[in-house]
Copies of this chain bind each other. A is one copy, B any other.
Amino acid sequence: MLIEALPYITRFRDTTVVIKYGGNVLSGVSAADESEALRLFAEDVVLMRQVGMKPVVVHGGGPQIGEMLTKLNITSEFRNGLRVTDAETLDVARMVLVGRVNRDIVSAINTHGALAVGVSGEDARLIRATTLDPELGFVGHITEVDPTLLHRLLAEELIPVIATIGTDDQGQAYNINADTAAGAIAAALHAEKLVYLTNIEGLRRDVADPASLISTIEVQELAAMLEDGSLEGGMIPKVESCVHAVRNGVAKAHILDGRAPHALLLEIFTTRGIGTQVTNGGEFE
């Protein structure tokens, strides 16, 4: 019943929550399932906004980019597991992220009203970037996030949906890791929460042991896990971003299983918190 959520609604009113959505959440599911998952996710985001929160959606789109590159017969070289991004690849990545994945999310939200606005990191110089590694081409490293445009949209009670393309002063675009970008945006907005919707149920102390799922962890301990190499590859950008965000003013970071229906709502509005939460452990003021 609605009334059970009242203390959480009161607690989180007017707070900003950055949600990383997409990519892996939906990999390997059918188009109909994907569409249904997006519909449920949109409901969660709209409800958060309706009860007075300020959700910001950040998305990636690796699988969709890969698919389009295949259709266009563009082959990529990989270095250390990262795709080398030449000008043609960048063009496709940007096109897919901004012109397809972003649009689908905006559309799903806007079936509930004039609520969402798609934003690229290029708009009003939101994400400034430079090259991460010359060998990787136009893969970007964030140098600055200017949240002015986001503050304006949030003040108008709109929901920004952000594709993580950055630019430099010459107008050169870069593809940015969406997990990293979500953390940097959450820090720049001094968000209350940063939530990663993933396709795993949370962090494990022992990757192989489901029983070792971590329910809550302080940022110091998580930083130690990053250093001692006990984390699997795909989680590293998320975990690094969680640590960065919590150390830069975000109150809590969460890693949830986005495949469960309404995972976001359950985490925020009930005592049935799920997945892993990262707290600042009293380390910071």
- Which residues of the partner chain B approach A13 to less than 8 Å between Cβ atoms? 50
A188 nearest CB across to chain B (Å): 14
| Chain A interface, number of residues (Cβ within 8 angstroms) | 60
The interface residues of chain B lying within 8 Å CB-to-CB of A124 are 110, 114-117, 158
Chain B proximity of A171: nearest CB distance (Å): 4
Query: Of B91, B111, B262, which is within 8 A of A170 by CB?
Result: B111
Nearest-CB residue, chain B, relative to A51: B51
The answer on a CB contact under 8 Å between A100 and B95 is: yes
Comparing A2-10, A18-26, A131-139, the segment that makes contact with chain B is A2-10
Mark contacts of A136-170 with chain B using CB atoms, 8 A cut-off: 1 yes-contact digit, 0 otherwise: 00000000001011001000101000000101011
- Interface positions, chain A 109-124, Cβ under 8 Å from B, are 110-120, 122-124
Q: Which residue of B lies closest to A50 (CB)?
A: B9
Give every chain B residue within 8 A of A98 (Cβ-Cβ): 98-99, 102-103, 118
Can you list 27 A-B contacts (CB < 8 A)?
Answer: A3-B47, A3-B265, A6-B46, A6-B50, A6-B112, A9-B51, A10-B46, A10-B113, A13-B50, A71-B72, A94-B103, A95-B103, A98-B98, A98-B103, A98-B118, A107-B171, A107-B173, A108-B171, A110-B167, A111-B171, A114-B146, A114-B148, A117-B119, A117-B123, A117-B124, A117-B149, A118-B123
Besides A3-B44, A110-B122, 5 other A-B contacts (C-beta < 8 A): A107-B167, A113-B125, A117-B124, A149-B158, A152-B152
